[in-house]
Amino acid sequence: MGERLDLSALKGQASAQLEFQGVSKDVKILAVQDDIASFAEGWSKGNSWSDSVAKAFQGLGAQADWQAIHTHSQAIGKWPQAVPVATESLPTDKPVAGPVSTEPAEPIGVTSPAVEVMFTRPGSGEPPLDQKIAEFIKSADKTVDIAAFELESPVIRDAILEAHQAGKQVRMVTDSNYKDEHDIQALQAAGIDVIDDQRSGLMHNKFVVIDQGLADAAVLTGSMNFTDNGVYRNDNNLQIIRSPEMAENYSAEFKEMFENHQFGVTSPHYVPHPTVTVGSSRISTHFAAEGEVIGKVAEALNKAEHSIQFLTFSYTHDDVNQVVMQKMADGVKVRGVFDNTQAGSRYSKYHDLKAAGADVRRDGNPRVMHHKVFVIDEKTVITGSFNFSKSADKSNDENLLIIEDPAIARAYLQEFERVYNQAKPE
């Protein structure tokens, strides 16, 4: 299946004719909306056209702001430009081809005894990140706690099952929209406890904590959903941080959700170790929606002295944009890449920044540029599951790290340059 849908020509119409696989159909436009991150995220997860449509509207309908969105349903956006791939075309024993850089092969991340940074690079020859996650899970001695927005990866699923079968304590939290997915059901059938959030806001985390309380405790986190699309098609980043203090931070958040069923703003604002030094990295940990995370992002950006560079799936928040615009007016160099589908939204700050003269582009990945990253002054990195939007800050369960380390920043800038060079200048 290689069809693309572009509904931009339908603006102002209540009905239209849709051609699909050579067949013309009269359709009525009820709502077309790419202004909400979860709409495009749902689309990006689909393994077929019908699956993509269902997941896209499922994600849209789950938004806390749905009633407000519905009242503005006359606003016609552009359907996310994705190329659905059938499930049967996804072999589990080799990577699926994706966007391949024409640049010379470069290291995909930075590795140290304490912090490992990784990026999805389909076609690079490097081990795909589902294998890295599987290795991390299987390395646990005692416990594995997983907070995953969605699980649609046989490699990761089988690693979780193997850990469970080996007698390790395995627990999982997921989003209610995806609790009935096949791989989640396989875990439950094996006796693994899986809790969903049972609410309209998203449990949007993607992290794994192993061996909390032991000397070798570690956490894996980042922007990547635990899906084949996340691994093989979308642009994403992950970190493995080997630190008992960092593991305790994430374990505390996991327990609030799994043991106490506290999600979103009902979750306590508690981080045992707000700032931790791990190797050469100074890392601060933040959780939404209880932690007023957007203020922490704005505070970090306000410290920029000469450069702000970013890769963003969804960037719609006024507070963040006000700081970036002010810093640009103060002479700070601003460069950025927006996910192409999200940049087309009338809420995206792409338009404001472009009009102000910022060097911003739409990404060139035919699927999804899913990063949520700022790099400040080539030494500070903001990254995590947290989109720079009101729903991320006020409704969802999210995590975000602010990492002060020039070596880590260089790895992210390398990824920035790759995505920037493949992006679409206008």
Show which residues are catalytic: 370, 372, 377
| Domains identified in the chain and CATH numbers | 8-89 (no CATH), 110-422 (3.30.870.10)
Please name the residue that has the structure tokens 């703003």: 265
* 160, 255, 335 from 374: Cα distances, Å: 32, 29, 10
The residues, any chain, with a CB within 8 Å of residue 401's CB and separated by 6 or more, are 221, 239, 283, 284, 285, 286, 381, 382, 383, 384
Q: Looking at the predicted structure, is the pLDDT value of residue 32 above 60?
A: no
Asked whether the beta carbons of 118 and 133 are under 8 A apart, the reply is no
Does the pLDDT at position 110 exceed 90? no
Long-range CB pairs of 255-259 (<8 Å, 24+ gap) are 257/147, 257/173, 257/195, 257/197, 257/203, 257/397, 258/145, 258/171, 258/172, 258/173, 258/193, 258/195
> What average pLDDT does this structure show over 241-247?
98
Asked whether residue 155 carries a pLDDT value surpassing 80, the answer given is yes
Alpha carbon 250 to its chain's center: 17
Six token digits for residue 276:
């931790």
Provide the pairing of β-strand 169-174 with 143-148. parallel
Name the residue with higher pLDDT: 327 or 121: 327
Q: Please measure the distance between the N-terminal and C-terminal CA atoms of the chain and give it in whole angstroms.
A: 29
pLDDT at residue 87, rounded to an integer:
28
Residue-level pLDDT at 3: 35
Q: What is the mean pLDDT of residues 251-255?
A: 98
Report pLDDT digits (tens) over 39-96.
555 545 555 455 555 655 555 544 444 333 333 332 222 223 232 222 223 333 333 3
